Structure 1
Amino acid sequence: MARSATRSFTAELARALPDRPFAVELWDGTRLDPTTGDGGGPVFRLRGPDALAHVLRAPGQLGVGRAYVSGALEVDDLDAVLELLNGWKPAPIDGREQLRLGALAARAVGLRRPPRRPVSELRPRGRRHSVERDARAVRHHYDVSNDFFALFLDASMTYSCAVFSRGATTLEEAQHAKREMVCTKLGLQPGERVLDVGCGWGSFAIHAAREHGARVVGITLSEPQARLARERVAQAGVGDRVEIRVMDYRAIDDGPFDVIASIGMVEHVGNVQIDAYAQQLHRLLRPGGRLLNHGIARLRHTDPEAGPFSERYVFPDAAPLHLSRVLHALERAGFEPHHVEDLRHDYAQTLSHWIANLDGRLDEAVQLAGAERVRVWRLYLRAARNGFRSGFTSIFQVRASRP
């Protein structure tokens, strides 16, 4: 009876998707072959009834994401899946067909308890972009473990877009080029007081202090990140010029600063807070001071801020805004923009290095973060690269000043 149910489901799926450049294999050996191309394409393997049960419980991206993260759904080639999603446009499935598919999927699943959500899923509570909720969201992403990030980042632990377009050939060279480019754009001078918003593991703060003689305050919401950043500051011999704090940007009250660098943090701010973010940076900067805001932005105004997979597993509450929205907030706060540069292709190349590094150390990654998190990160890094390659997202550096 169980085999009959899975066959009925795959037969109905075949009718609903007559042109399909992929294969589907069910846990009992039932298979749906591709109908287009050369018979190749990615293979989706449903390891057990929980794969369908997740989708029945949360139809769409979230249910498929849960099935994948839990291991109930496997794919043989993540890159091929993303390429498929870029180009394949299935015929629409009407409501009746959807009901038939759902009923047959439920029959194939049988009577069973709904599967548990993966433990790595976060459902944020409280007011969106409150200080408390933002702290939980950021920790969900960054507190996997410092050692996990070290598996795929370069030796400087720089977790933002590297710059290859200035001639760098290695990830280390490209990250150094990015940090130096930021300092050059800001015209950083010895003795100037710098605020590093979203300082990560301290790579920019160390660079600005060691190479340019700046005095830097770096802030992060991740305590494990801050601990390692402080160790790295001490090892670099700049402990007298760099202070690392665990602090929300809204809580800083000891300005003014001569320079503010916000590198890879504005994506976490969101549309409801972007004006307050710009106003706070303006308050913290002295008249004549300089700002560099570096962040991911959406390119198309028809696309949503983020999908449910990213919301629950990668960057809860993160919302890459359009460049025009960020500029509008900066101008309303009183900043004068001077220069904008996009680094879309640089970030795609950066992500290719991170993907290769992580894939080369998967066993260590699973030991450090667990199989669920590794599945999330392997998909997330590729999806992010796909966004930059396809023109869904870009990344912009905006240089501005407070007149």
Structure 2
Amino acid sequence: MLALEEARARILAALEATPAETIALAEAWNRVLARPVPARLTQPPADVSAMDGYALRGADGSEGARLAVIGTAPAGHPFAGAIGPGQAVRIFTGGFVPPGADAILLQEDAEEAAGQVTVKETVKPGRWIRRAGLDFAAGDTLLPAGRRLTARDIGLAAAGNNPWVTVHCRPRIGILATGDEIALPGEPIPAGGIVSSNAHALAALVRAAGGEPLILPIAPDDRDAIAAAASAARACDMLVTTGGASVGEHDLVQKALGPEGFALDFWKIAMRPGKPLIWGRLGRTPVLGLPGNPVSALVCAVQFLVPALAVMSGLPAAPPATLLVRTGAPLAENDRRFDHLRSSLGTDRDGRPVATPFPLQDSSMLATLARAEALILRPPYAPAVPEGAEVEAIPLGQFGI
């Protein structure tokens, strides 16, 4: 059996980013930049006032001075003239500072009457003025390639006068559930059968990770049916199957895809849950075969599919983000398989994160996974540790699952 880390490294090394496309900025949230976003203007474009008040020369701003108010400068309506000795212009936040002025007298430190303003507190030259280019200058790189765009990034790109951005295409992921015994939610359930949860759960995970899922019709335990369904997904950037990844009489994914040109890289991972896992290619299409067990499928997706989607989206190859936590219960010695303990996540009196594994860890219990907030990671042959020991965990909230 292959080690988890080696399996993930081999998967990620075999993938590349999707091609680039240019889209409207309004549609760019959560997309990954394929090209940097430049500043197409200077922000602010000129010296502007940071407060409401009066623009004047610092030399005229001594306490008690009386200045002639010669105009106004609200935001969007610059004063057309220049300020000379003994003069001031009423200005508002965001208004351009008129030529000749080098200070702002706050309105609460001023008293205006009969076309004149009296300085009640001495001003300092440069105070309350935002200089041109304070935020960025035309030609600056606002956002680098390889960045997943947040709402803050969208705002910055907009401020830089970018109506379009160039991003990587969303990875298209075909999802194929296999098995005679399964039916999609709401469909008739065959005798001795169950409802399939994998396709919908994986589609949600793919969307959360920035991909575009395509749920294929369920393929029965028939080689021709599996091969036909898989061939329909050749236009996708990756095919993800669930079920049929083990060695039983009805585990047919490898057998069905072999005659279609499937090249196997590896299968079987030393991890729990999720030992049966297939990785290979069907022509140019990468194929990730997940276990049919719903808990195993999702845990494997966290460890392999989510990092794969990141690489395909244009992000660096990396394992899932982890958190150092204290255990809320003693942990037994682990065996040779990398274990993932479904756990709640809280804090102790000192605000440190605490992960407490659920008493039952059966890989068939999807309700337990739904309640879990973290996966405590137990490497092969990890020794027993007492309650309160520090271990590594994967917070599940980051994946939207």
TM range (shorter): under 0.3
Greater percentage in helix: 1
TM-score by length of 2: 0.24
TM-score (norm 1): 0.24
- Greater Rg by CA: 2
